[in-house]
Amino acid sequence: MTSQAVRKKYQIFDIKQLAELEKKQKKICRQALLNYKIWQCNFRHQSDKMEIYYGQKEGHILRRYAMDTIKNYWRIRNDFRKAFQTYLTQNCVIRNTGH
């Protein structure tokens, strides 16, 4: 097996892994956003000052977690798109237009 064939197989393997990772991260991202939205609905009806205080802390944590998962998702998505584009260009599936 030539080194080019081995490199091609590794590229395909990397692309598959990135695609699976993107899918998993998208699921995590959606769940984090859902948890934050549920918290918002529940928090609106609070009247006790202690519940409001601790609810704000919980909301801050949920919001930060949702923001972090969104950032991770987009980072993974961009890496996957770049790797896939590179693979297609290197294997002459599409022409490199210089963009």
Give the tens place of pLDDT for each residue, 51-78. 888 888 999 999 999 999 999 999 999 9
Mean pLDDT over 1-19 rounds to: 83
CB 20 within 8 A of CB 80: no
**Considering the domain boundaries, does residue 49 fall inside one?**
yes
Is the pLDDT confidence value at 23 over 80? yes
Instruction: State residue 49's pLDDT score.
Output: 84
Q: Does 29 fall in a domain?
A: no
Across the range 39-47, mean pLDDT stands at 85
Please check the confidence at residue 2 and state whether its pLDDT lies above 70: yes
Average pLDDT, stretch 32-43?
A: 92
Asked whether residue 84 is domain-assigned, the answer is no
What pLDDT sits at residue 28? 96
- With a cut of 70, say whether residue 97 has pLDDT above it: no
Asked if residue 51 is part of any domain, the answer here is yes
Residue 10 belongs to some domain of the structure: no
In a domain, 78, yes or no: no
Number of domains making up the chain: 1
Within-domain flag for 22:
no
Q: Is residue 60 part of a domain?
A: yes
Decide which of 6 and 24 is more confident. Answer: 24
